[in-house]
Amino acid sequence: MKKLTFLLFLLLTAPWLNSQDKDSSMDPVIKTIQEADAKALAVFFNQTVELQLPDYENTYSSSQGEMIMKDFFKKYPPDSFTIIQQGHTDSSSRFAICSYLSGSLQYQVYLFMKKEKEQFLIHNIKFEEKK
């Protein structure tokens, strides 16, 4: 948890961060979340994925992650999902900070992807409720 917080801090504050470049590698992932499609989202999971959701916080296998995201989308279906900022720190990592609205609940979403065997895979998804 502390490592993730530190990593996110570095991603957000690093002066060499180039978030102005439009990178389409996250577009399919964003679309799966907008559509609340856990099965399609799980295609982009690394073998293990760290999930931080209202009812779950741990590292899970990709199949467990799919079931957890399916449950999350069922409980909190998206009314809207928009990108606030996205970028990369180098050629092998991508991140996005997004806003997820479900009914009266609003979440700040942090996505982190890393390149594995020529494909970007999700290593972490965090849904943090905004109060």
One DSSP character per residue, 75-129 reads: HS--SEEEEEEEEEEETTEEEEEEEEEETTEEEEEEEEEEEETTEEEEEEEEEEE
93 in any annotated domain: yes
70 in any annotated domain: yes
Number of separate domains in the chain:
1
Given this model, what pLDDT does residue 78 score? 97
- List the CATH number of the domain containing 30: 3.10.450.50
Domain that holds residue 82: 2-12+22-130
- Examine the pLDDT at 70 and tell me if it is beyond 60: yes
pTM over 0.85: no
17 in any annotated domain: no
58 compared with 19, residue with greater pLDDT: 58
98 in any annotated domain: yes
What rounded mean pLDDT belongs to the chain? Answer: 87
Given this model, what pLDDT does residue 12 score? 53
